[in-house]
Amino acid sequence: MMCNYSKKKYLNLALFIVLFIFVFPQINSAKISDRRAVKTYWSEAPIMPGAAKYFVRTEKIEKKAKSLNNHPIKLNENTLRVMLKQLSYKYDRDEPEIPLFSKKELILLSENVSKALMEAQPNEDVTFVIKGPHKSTRWGFAEDRLTAGRIFVSNNQLNLIFGAVQVNLQPTLDERYQGNVWETAKLTYDIGYRKKKIKYEGLIVVYNQKKKGIYRKSTDRKDWFVFTNDAYKQARQGENQKNLGKEQYKTLQQQIDTLQKQLNKQDQPQQRKQQYTPPPQQRQQIQRKKEQPVVTKKRTNASDANVLEQRIKTIEQLYKKGILSEEEYKKKRNEILKGL
C-alpha cells in the first residue's frame, strides 16, 4: 500500500515538473541579480515575463578584487563613443565584420556610462545589458541582439569585460508556436567578471591594436579589453578634428553665402534693365514715334547767310551786265534760295 502511494507521489511530481517546463517556458536561465546594484542610469523593462531586463547602472565591485578603481572619473561621452566604435565583430573568421555596437547602442552607452563613471565610487563598476539592431550575411534584415558587460577605469585605463556578445533574441519555434513572437525567454547571458571568463560565439576584432592602443587583458581572455592612454588620446584627437572640421565647414559656408548675396546684388540692376518691359500704352507711344518722319531743322548761322546774300548780288550784277540771261538768272536765284 505504502509502495503504491510512493509511486503515485513520484508520478505526480514528475507530471508537475513536465507541465511546469512546457506551460512556463519563459523562465530565464540566466537572471541577473539586483543584489549588488547601486544606482540605475537607464533601464528598460522586459518585453514579456521571463525576457531580458535592460539597464545601465553602477554596482558593487566583485569580491576579492585585487585593486580598486580610479572612480569617480570624468570621461567625455563623445570620446567614449569613439573608443567603443573601434570594436568590430565577426560571427566567423571567413565572414565580413560588422560593428560590435550599433549606433543606438553607442549613444545609449556613451551618454549613460559617462554619467555613471562621474558618480561611481572606487568600489563600484558600471554594468550594462543592452540591445540594438544588427545586420549580417547570416540573415537578410536587421534584428535586435543582446550585449552585456562591465566597464571600469583601473590604473588610469578603461576596462571592458563582456558577459554576452550579440546574443540572438529571436523566439524559438516552440515559443512561436505558443504565441511568443517578440523575444525569447530562453537566454543564457551574464554581465562579465574579473575572475571568470566567458565564451561567446564569434570573434571581437580590433585591427592595428598597437596603433589604436586597444588590447586584450591576456591571450586567454578574449572577453576582456583594455583601452590604454594611447586609445584615449587618439579618440580625443579624432573628436577634436571632427569638431574643427565642422567649424571650418560652417565658416566656409558662411563665406560662400555672403559672397553669393553680394553677387546677387550686383546682378539685380542688370537683370532688371535687361528684363524691363514697358507697359502697353508706353509701347504704343514709342512705336508711333518710330513711325513718324524725323524732321531735321537746318540752322544757318550769320556767316552762311552772308555768303548766300553775296551770291544773289553776284548773279544780279551778272544779269544787269548782260552776262546772264533772264532765264539763267531766275534759275540760279531759285537754286540759291532753295539752299536756305
d(CA 143, CA 181): 13
Identify the pLDDT of residue 19: 44
Identify whether the C-beta of residue 72 lies closer than 8 Å to the C-beta of residue 147. no
Largest pairwise CA distance in the chain:
187
Identify the pLDDT of residue 154: 95
d(CA 1, CA 6): 9
d(CA 92, CA 110): 28
Query: What are the grid coordinates assigned to 183, written together?
Result: 523575444
Q: Is 283 helix (H, G, I), strand (E, B) or coil?
A: helix
Q: Tell me the C-alpha to C-alpha distance, in Å, between residue 298 and each of 290, 294, 295, 339.
A: 21, 13, 10, 10
- Which secondary structure element, helix H or strand E, spans residue 268, and what is its range? helix 229-275
| Amino acid residing at 3 | C
Q: pTM here?
A: 0.63
Q: What are phi and psi of 89, to 5 degrees?
A: -140, 140
d(CA 156, CA 68): 11
**Complete edge-to-edge strand list for the sheet that includes strand 54-60:** 37-44, 54-60, 124-136, 139-154, 157-168, 224-227, 214-216
Query: What are the grid coordinates assigned to 59, written together?
Result: 554596482
Please report, in tens digits, the pLDDT of each residue of the chain (340 residues total).
445 545 555 566 555 444 444 444 333 445 688 899 999 999 999 888 888 999 999 999 988 788 899 999 999 999 999 999 999 998 887 888 889 999 999 999 999 999 999 999 999 999 999 999 988 776 667 889 999 999 999 999 999 999 999 998 888 888 888 888 788 888 888 999 999 999 898 899 887 777 789 999 999 999 999 999 999 999 988 766 665 555 655 665 666 666 666 666 665 655 555 555 666 666 666 666 656 555 544 444 556 667 777 777 887 877 777 777 778 778 878 887 776 5
